[in-house]
Amino acid sequence: MKHNKFLDNICLFLVFTFLFLPILVIILFSFNTSRLNIVFEGFTLDWYRELFNNTSLLIALKNTLIVAFVSTIVSTIIGTISAYGLKKYNFPFKRVVNELLYIPVVIPEIVLGISLLCIYTLLKLELGMFTLILAHISFSIPFVIINVRSVLENMDPNIEQAANDLGANKFKTFFYVVLPSLVPGIMSGAQLAFTLSLDDVVISYFTAGPGSNTLPLQVYSMIKTGVTPDVNALISIMLLIIFALLMISAIVNLRKLKYEVTR
């Protein structure tokens, strides 16, 4: 079938320009000599140097990364365990639990954010890193469960039975037989949890405290008074790291794809 290649490429070009423009402009202005993010005057690396003296910005970056890593690890572990448990066992109200898990996926984030804020206030928990991380864990778990479950559904139950027949106990069966075959689902779940954590604004807005400012919240508070160019520099560095990580994962994926094709 003939497709209009030219039109296809124009469409791809326009959408990707739209998607990357706001990011490219930040990178561009991180090299700008002018303090105001208005006209590009000349090239400088000063903002990158200045960045290392801006402690509040560095703390915000540190908090963002801690929240993202800790919440990803915890939600991936709990999510993986839960996906297996929900498939394997029956217990009272299992159907209710299964339905509840969809709530964080579909409900507007703001409702989740304020409901957590309310329950924290009720329990007299002081807002800070703990409440923030707990919030991120709680909106990530269902995504991990869903992704792990999709792999679990396609697993051959006979393999587990075989391990059992050969004398492996449940723990051994889980760690040596089930877990390795779940890796693709666990990886995409973890990747999604990490992305959601880095991208979140709304839930963090309600569940972070004075000592747990994240980078987006910091930028939010600066937008009204004017964002300094060292923020541009920081965002550019983060982007560079993320892009490198993505390239690695893309290369790994392509290798896999090639392997599947040539097999």
Partner 1 sequence: MKFDNKIFKFIFIVPVIIYSVFLIALPLLYIFWISFLKNDSYGGIINVFTLQNYIDIFADVYIKIFLRSFLIALGTTFICILISYPFVLAVSHKNKKIQQILMTLVMVPFLTNSLIRMYGFTVLLRKYGVINQILLNTSLINEPLELMYNTFGIMIGMVYTLLPFMILPLYSSVLTIEKPILEAANDLGASKWQTFKKIILPQTLPGLFNGSLMVFTPALGYFFIVDILGGGKIMILGNLIKNQFLTARNWPFGAAISVFLILITSILIWGYKKIGGKMDDLGGM
Which parts of 113-142 interact with partner 1 (CB under 8 A)? 114-119, 122, 134, 138, 141-142
Which of the stretches 43-51, 55-63, 159-167, 215-223 binds partner 1 when contact is defined by CB under 8 A?
A: 215-223
In sequence order, the 6+-apart residues with CB closer than 8 A to the CB of 232 are: 26, 27, 29, 30, 32, 37, 47
- Under the binding rule (CB under 8 A), the answer on residue 219 touching partner 1 is yes
Among 17, 21, 62, 176, binds partner 1 (CB under 8 A): 21
* Residue closer to partner 1, measured from CB, 122 or 180: 122
Dihedral angle computed from the Cα positions of residues 234, 236, 238 and 244, in that order, rounded to the nearest 10 degrees: -150
Q: Which stretch binds partner 1 (CB under 8 A): 46-54, 124-132, 160-168, 251-259?
A: 251-259
Q: Give the count of residues interacting with partner 1 (CB under 8 A).
A: 97
Could you tell me which stretch among 47-55, 124-132, 157-165, 239-247 binds partner 1 (CB under 8 A)? 239-247
Is 82 near partner 1 (CB under 8 A)?
A: yes
Buried/exposed 114-149: b ≥16 CB within 10 Å, e otherwise: eebbeebeeeeeebebebbbebbbbbbbbbbbbbbb
Backbone angles phi, psi at 65, to 5 degrees: -70, -40
Q: What is the DSSP letter of 123?
A: T
Q: In the stretch 45-74, what mask flags binding to partner 1 with x, by CB under 8 A?
A: ------------------------------
204 contacts: CB under 8 Å, gap ≥ 6: 67, 132, 135, 136, 214, 216, 217
Q: Does 31 bind partner 1 (CB under 8 A)?
A: no
